[in-house]
Chains A and B, each alone.
Chain A
Amino acid sequence: MLDNWLFIGIFVAIAAVFPLLPIVLARFLAPYKPNFIKQDTYECGMETVGDSWVQFKVQYYVYALVFLIFDVETVFLYPWAVAFDVLPLFAVLEGVLFILILVGGLLYAWRKGALEWS
Chain B
Amino acid sequence: MTPIQGVFLITAAAILWSAYMVVTRDNLIHSALYLIITLFGVAVLFVLLEAGFLAVVQVLVYIGAIAILMIFAVMLTRGDVDKLEQVSIANSGFVAMISILFFSTLILLMGQWPAFSSTAPELEAGRDTVVELGTALVSPKGYVIPFEVASVLLLAALIGALYVARPQGKGK
- Identify the A interface with B (CB < 8 A): 1-2, 4-5, 8-9, 51, 53, 56, 58, 60-62, 64-69, 71-73, 75-76, 78-87, 91, 94-95, 97-98, 101-102, 104-105, 108-109, 112, 114, 118
Contacts and interface: CB of A to CB of B under 8 A. Distances in A.
A12 B154 CA distance: 33
Contacts of B167: 58, 118
Nearest to B123: A1
A53 B80 CA distance: 9
Contacts of A104: 155
13 contacts: A1-B123, A2-B48, A62-B162, A64-B65, A65-B158, A71-B61, A82-B134, A83-B130, A83-B133, A86-B135, A91-B138, A98-B147, A98-B148
Interface stretch (B31-39, B71-79, B101-109, B110-118): B71-79
Nearest to A65: B161
B20 interface: no
What is the size category of the interface that chain B forms with chain A?
Answer: 35 or more
B4 A2 contact: yes
Contacts of B65: 64, 67-68, 71-72
A118 B55 CA distance: 37
Given A64-B69, A66-B158, A69-B157, A91 B151 contact: no
Contacts of A94: 138, 144, 147-148
Interface in B119-155: 123, 125, 130-135, 137-139, 144, 147-148, 150-152, 154-155
Given A1-B50, A87-B134, 11 more contacts: A2-B47, A5-B55, A9-B47, A61-B69, A68-B61, A68-B65, A75-B60, A80-B137, A97-B151, A101-B155, A118-B167
A1 B125 contact: yes
B23 interface: no
B17 interface: no
Contact of A75 (B61, B155, B159): B61
B53 A79 contact: yes
Nearest to A114: B162
A99 to B, nearest CB: 8
A73 B154 contact: yes
